[in-house]
Amino acid sequence: MEKIIIQSDRTNDKYYKIMHPSGLEILVWEMPGFSTTEALFGTKYGSINTRFKTNREDDFVDVPEGIAHFLEHKLFENEDCDVFELYAKTGANANAYTSFDKTCYLFSCSDNYKESLEILLSFVQKPYFTNATVLKEQGIIGQEIRMVQDNPDWCVFFNLLKALYVNHPVRIDIAGTVDSIAQIDADLLYRCYHTFYNLNNMVLSIAGNCDVDEVLSICDKLLQPSADISLETAFLDEPEGICQDEIIQNLPVGIPLFSIGFKSEPKSGIELLKAEIAASILLSLIAGATSPLYKDMYDEGLINSSFSSEVFTGDGYFACILGGESKNPHEIQKRLLAEIERLKAEGLDEERFDIIKKSKYGQLIRSFNNVEVCASLMLNSHFTGVEAFDTVEVLASITFDDINSQLNTLFDSQKVAISIIKSK
């Protein structure tokens, strides 16, 4: 096994990348002097992956929505005990999450990282499903789904995705629907598990107080070799335009909630990373806390401190989203679109660009002192198809001209939608 060193020439930080004989890629960032360890065992399998094909199938298979999230819940149970009981003995804090395009199992600890790593690798590779336990879980997750159906923060976001996307499954709740999870049984869970939890589709990322050779020794002992099954995923064709301009839902809220999204062309690899960084800088320039637009809207009481923005990206989707609370969301949308058109006509402020770029660069470098951030950065970069330090290089080298050239494509006034939650 070759240990490839990935190093940043700008910061001298480094981590190891190892392609294990089992098929798993292992990423280890040793951080001498740190007392904690963070480990993530992730698979490129999220809620959007409901259509797939391997060398075992003649054609693409469609499965019900919500299976990735369902699997995450069920893997914490085995025949003997609950996995959290095992972590309690090592003192580790364990968790898991399913997003639109990945599922990750993780732990953080101050001691006994080797014992905790053994637990992590063991239970994720040992699924145990029965129809009886699946039926019980359907009731639990069904209740979760019903609970978020009247959660204003949840609804304002997912309503926006429904407005932006016509066919892409990102418009569907990560947990699925009550009807879709009712179609899940033990056999279907095993089928999806053996498809997406193949080690060739996974990555182990560990950072902090750890040793690469100790990590590899545990992996050699516990990883079960996986044959490459040539996994492919697919989505229905997604048109360039949005599904609808607006979705308004009535729920009991003190102040209306809103979310405004600009849909743009999805990207992958280094091009995705460049677009993400450009979009993040543009959001700060257009409506960040130091922007003229933010100051005017805040002084007028149109927005409050809840106003924020994010770059929302993944496999087959890319959007710039702004949201918060306001008594007049439509006025915010009007002001936002007017400011974007003004900037397109008059040009961006280069001095503010330099300040924002330096600020984001400083934040990124400081984040390398955070064990959790380092482990997540390696994992997310792996699934994007880049190296972790590519983020530093792209941010350091991005120019004012690069940002200007992205303004039209990332903020197209013909591809904007608004979601509003307000009381009747």
Dist CA 378 CA 271 (whole Å): 17
Q: How far apart are CA 125 and CA 84, in angstroms?
A: 16
Residue 226 structure tokens? 């996986």
What tokens appear for 102 in the block? 């990945």
Element (H, E) at 225: none
How far is residue 241's CA from residue 239's CA, in Å, rounded to a whole number? 6
Beta strands in 283-362 (DSSP E): 308-314, 317-325
Closest CA to 344 of 417, 284, 411: 411
DSSP codes of every residue in 134-193: HHHHHHHHHHHHHHHTT-HHHHHHHHHHHHH-SS-GGGS-TT--HHHHTT--HHHHHHHH
| Sequence letter at residue 68 | A
Active site residue 72: yes
| Strands in 214-304 per DSSP E | 232-233, 246-250, 257-263
How far is Cα 137 from Cα 70, in angstroms, rounded to an integer? Answer: 8
Q: Which residues, in sequence order, are CB contacts of 349 under 8 Å at separation 6+?
A: 285
Residue of 65, 72, 137, 276 marked active site: 72
Token pair, residue 227, equals 């044959």
- Name the nearest CA neighbour of 135 among 176, 181, 72: 181
Starting at the edge strand that comes first in sequence, how are the strands of the sheet with 3-7 ordered? 3-7, 14-19, 25-30, 202-208, 37-43, 103-109, 93-98
Helix (H) or strand (E) holding 356: helix 350-367
- The terminus-to-terminus CA distance of the chain in angstroms comes to 63
Q: Residues of 350-359 as b/e, b for ≥16 C-beta within 10 angstroms?
A: eebbeebbee
**Apex 26 CA angle, 21 and 28, nearest 5:** 140
Catalytic residues: 72
